[in-house]
């Protein structure tokens, strides 16, 4: 196992290098684009709702954690909508 550049990383290098989507045949660049767009959408929604930056950051971390690792969500199985629904629910709770 590779060591992480971060001393307190939330995901191992192995989790980052292979995701459920990649194992299901989704191209890595498409997956990355969808994750990036989702994070930007969360940030934009948080700004429009005038949420504190900590809440927005927590929502982005939760969104990212959902998709990370081979045990994480796959775009082939869930589609991008599920991750966004999780975050919208999280934002409503905050």
**pLDDT tens track for 5-19:** 556 567 777 777 778
User: Quick check: 25 pLDDT over 90?
Assistant: no
d(CA 28, CA 32): 6
The pLDDT of residue 6 is: 56
d(CA 91, CA 15): 26
What domains lie within the chain, and their CATH numbers?
A: 20-93 (1.10.472.10)
Unique residue bearing structure tokens 């950051």: 57
The pLDDT of residue 94 is: 57
The pLDDT of residue 63 is: 86
Find the radius of gyration of the CA atoms of the chain: 14
Whole-prediction pTM: 0.69
Unique residue bearing structure tokens 């971390």: 61
- In this predicted model, what pLDDT tens digit does every residue of 35-93 receive, in sequence order? 888 888 899 999 999 999 999 999 998 888 888 877 778 877 877 566 566 556 666 65
The pLDDT of residue 2 is: 53
The pLDDT of residue 24 is: 83
């Amino acid at each position: 196992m590779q060591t992480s550049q971060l001393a307190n990383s939330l995901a191992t290098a192995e989790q980052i290098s292979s995701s459920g989507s990649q194992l299901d045949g989704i191209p890595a660049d498409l997956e990355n684009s969808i994750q990036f767009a989702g994070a930007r959408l969360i940030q934009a929604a948080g700004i429009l709702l005038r949420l504190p930056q900590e809440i927005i950051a927590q929502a982005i971390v939760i969104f990212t954690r959902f998709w990370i690792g081979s045990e994480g969500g796959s775009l082939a199985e869930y589609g991008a909508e599920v991750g966004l629904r999780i975050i919208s629910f999280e934002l409503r709770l905050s």
